[in-house]
Each structure stands twice: as C-alpha cells, then as structure tokens.
Amino acid sequence: MSSVESLREVVQRLERTFSDPQNRESHYLDFYDDSLVIHGFPQKLPANKDGFMEFDHFMWKAFPDIRITFEDIIIEKNKVACRSRPSGTHTGEFRVGIFQLVGSLPDQPIKNST
C-alpha cells in the first residue's frame, strides 16, 4: 500500500468516526496530535487541540446527528487537504452559543444581504 493510499484511509476513518455519535467523543480527537495549531479559530478558544475539542463538543451538542463528508481529498507527500460538507439536524443551542465562542453577540439582528 502506498503512503497516499494509507493517508486516504486515515481520512476516511476520520470521516466515519466524526459521523458516528456512539464513538466520536471517545475516538475522534485521537486523529490529531497534541501539537495541533489551528489558524483563524474563534478568539475565545485556544488554537490547539483543547480548543478544537471544545468547538467539536459544541457542534455535536447543537447538531447531535452531524455528519461530515469529505468530497475532495488532496494528498501531496505527507500533507492532506480536504474539502468537506457537514450536514445535520439543528436541535441544540447554536446562534447564541457560536457568538459566545467568537467573543461577541451582535446588538442588532443579523440581516440577510441578498
């Protein structure tokens, strides 16, 4: 098996684990090294594995049946980039919760620009 095939299998296992409510909390973050650094993350969260875990738990609570589908997987040497599509049923608190993570709740309702 080539390293590209091996990395593709890891990404596919990550997708299955994230999308499995029975196993994701205990196994999903095992895919990430403790040295994880996230760029462009909400300011109120640490940009590391702990912050990523907090964000994931927030999403899983707001969308308990959330699934992620990797529509494109690009592998070059030991680097992987994916285009993903999440889907799920919104049953928990999200709007207020996401602004708490970002750091502010707008004074005015958010208006659709279209």
In the chain, domain spans: 3-102
**pLDDT > 70? residue 13:** yes
Residue 96: its H or E element: helix 95-102
> 99 near 51, Cβ under 8 Å?
no
Q: How confident is the model at residue 98 (pLDDT cuts 50, 70, 90)?
A: low
> 43 near 102, Cβ under 8 Å?
yes
Q: Which of the listed CATH numbers 3.10.450.50, 3.20.20.140, 2.90.10.10, 1.10.10.10 matches domain 3-102?
A: 3.10.450.50
The lowest-confidence range among 1-10, 88-97, 102-111 is 102-111
Q: What is the pTM of this model?
A: 0.71
Instruction: Check residue 104 and give its pLDDT.
Output: 53
> 97 near 58, Cβ under 8 Å?
yes
Residues pairing with 48 in the sheet: none
> 27 near 86, Cβ under 8 Å?
no
> 56 near 28, Cβ under 8 Å?
yes
Residue 3: which of 70, 80, 82, 77 has the closest Cα?
77
- Report the distance separating Cα 73 and Cα 37, nearest Å: 20
Residue 57: its H or E element: helix 49-62
